[in-house]
């Protein structure tokens, strides 16, 4: 069953974000993931915590694949650099 990584973010440094994007996409594809959505949050529908302005959803074949991507040596340096480029919340869901 597929698993999905969801990220909700605010870009702090557009230039750094742009430099990270192709590296992130390459690491994602190498891990068998694909981008389902990456773009602006349109509207808060429920809840009282305002989302950050951008959302991304990334699909993997399994939860193990999603976790392997997150823990991979290819993604590790991107995680470190991402802190300077964006404020982010990230979580994974298993669609079983």
Nearest to 64, CA basis, from 89, 94, 19:
94
The number of beta carbons lying within 10 Å of the beta carbon of residue 6 is 15
Mean pLDDT for 70-77 is 95
Does 26 map to a domain?
yes
Does 66 map to a domain?
yes
The pLDDT tens digits of the residues spanning 5-45 come to: 999 999 999 999 999 999 999 999 999 999 999 999 999 99
Does 46 map to a domain?
no
If one counts the domains in the chain, the total is 1
Does 14 map to a domain?
yes
Q: What is the CATH number of the domain that holds 37?
A: 3.30.70.100
Does 35 map to a domain?
yes
Residue that has been written with the tokens 């068998």 in this structure? 32
Confidence band, pLDDT 50/70/90 cuts, at residue 55: very high
Does 60 map to a domain?
yes
pTM over 0.75: yes
Domain assignment of residue 88, given as a range: 3-41+52-94
């Amino acid at each position: 069953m597929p698993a999905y990584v969801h990220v909700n973010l605010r870009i702090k440094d557009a230039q750094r974000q742009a430099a990270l994007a192709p590296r992130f996409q390459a690491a994602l594809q190498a891990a068998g993931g694909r981008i389902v959505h990456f773009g602006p949050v349109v509207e808060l529908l429920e809840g009282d915590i305002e989302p950050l302005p951008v959302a991304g959803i990334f699909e993997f074949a399994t939860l193990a694949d999603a976790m392997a991507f997150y823990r991979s040596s290819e993604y590790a340096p991107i995680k470190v650099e991402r802190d300077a480029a964006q404020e982010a919340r990230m979580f994974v869901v298993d669609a079983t």
